[in-house]
Structure 1
Amino acid sequence: MSERQSVTVDVVSDVVCPWCYVGQKRLESAIAGLADIDVTVNWRPFQLDPTVPPEGTDRRQYMLAKFGSEERIRQIHQRIEPLGEAEGISFAFDAIKVAPNTLDAHRLIRWAASGAPDAQNRLVKRVFALYFEEGGNIGDHAVLVQAAREAGMDAAVVEAMLATDADREAVETEVATASSMGITGVPCFLLDSRYAVMGAQETETLADAIRQVAAEKGKASLGQSSTP
Structure 2
Amino acid sequence: MAGRGVHRGVKVEIWSDVVCPWCHIGKRRFEAALARFPHRDAVDVRWRAFELDPGARSAPAGEPVRPTDYAERLARKYGTSVPGAQQMIDTMTQQAAAEGLDFRFDRAVRANTFDAHQVIHLAGERGLQDAVEERLLTAYFSEGEAVGDREVLVRLAAEAGLDADEVRAALADQRHAGAVRADEAEASALGISGVPFFVVDRRYGVNGAQPAEALLQVLERAWADRAPLIPVAGGGDGAACGPDGCTV
Whether TM-score is above 0.5 comes out as: yes
Amino acid of the residue matched to residue 114 of structure 1? E
- Could you tell me which residue of structure 2 aligns to residue 6 of structure 1? 9
- Structure 2 counterpart SS, 1:165: coil
Q: Which residue matches 1:26?
A: 29
Partner residue of 1:199 out of 208, 218, 230: 208
Gaps of 5+ in 2: 1-5, 232-248
Give the aligned partner of residue 83 of structure 1: 95
Q: Is the 8 A contact 2:57 2:110 kept in 1?
A: no
Q: Which has the greater radius of gyration? A: 2
Q: How many residues in Structure 1 have an aligned counterpart in Structure 2?
A: 218
Deviations 1:157-198 (A, max 9, x none): 101221222221331232122112210011100001121111
SS in 1 for 2:83: helix
Q: TM-score scaled by structure 1?
A: 0.88
2:162 to 153, 161, 177: 153
User: Percent identity of the aligned residues?
Assistant: 39
1:180 corresponds to: 189
Two-structure CA RMSD over aligned residues (Å): 2.2
SS of structure 2 residue aligned to 1:121: helix
Name the CA distance, whole Å, in 2 between partners of 1:179 and 1:221: 30
SS in structure 1 of the partner of residue 228 of structure 2: helix
3-state SS, counterpart of residue 90 of structure 2: helix
Task: Write the letter of the residue equivalent to 1:129.
Answer: T
> 1:184 is matched by which residue type in structure 2?
S
Could you tell me which residue of structure 1 aligns to residue 20 of structure 2?
17
* 2:114 corresponds to: 103
Identify, as 1 or 2, the structure richer in helix: 1
Matched letter for residue 74 of structure 2: M
Equivalent-residue separation in structure 2 for 1:55 and 1:160 (angstroms): 22
Task: List alignment gaps of at least 5 residues for structure 1.
Answer: none
* Counterpart residue identity of residue 153, structure 2: L
Return 165-174 or 82-91, whichever deviates more: 165-174
Is the counterpart of residue 190 in structure 1 residue 235 in structure 2? no
Larger mean Cα displacement after TM superposition, 32-41 or 206-215: 32-41
Cα distance in 2, alignment partners of residues 165 and 5 from structure 1: 34
* Aligned partner letter, 2:12: V
Q: Which amino acid aligns with 2:28?
A: K
| TM-score normalised over the length of structure 2 | 0.81
* Partner-residue secondary structure (3-state), 2:225: helix
The residue identity in structure 2 corresponding to 1:106 is: H
Q: How does 1:108-123 map to 2 (within 5 A)?
A: 108-116=119-127, 119-123=128-132
Q: What residue number does 2:81 align with?
A: 69
Match of 1:168 in 2: 177
SS in structure 2 of the partner of residue 108 of structure 1: helix
Partner of 2:3: none
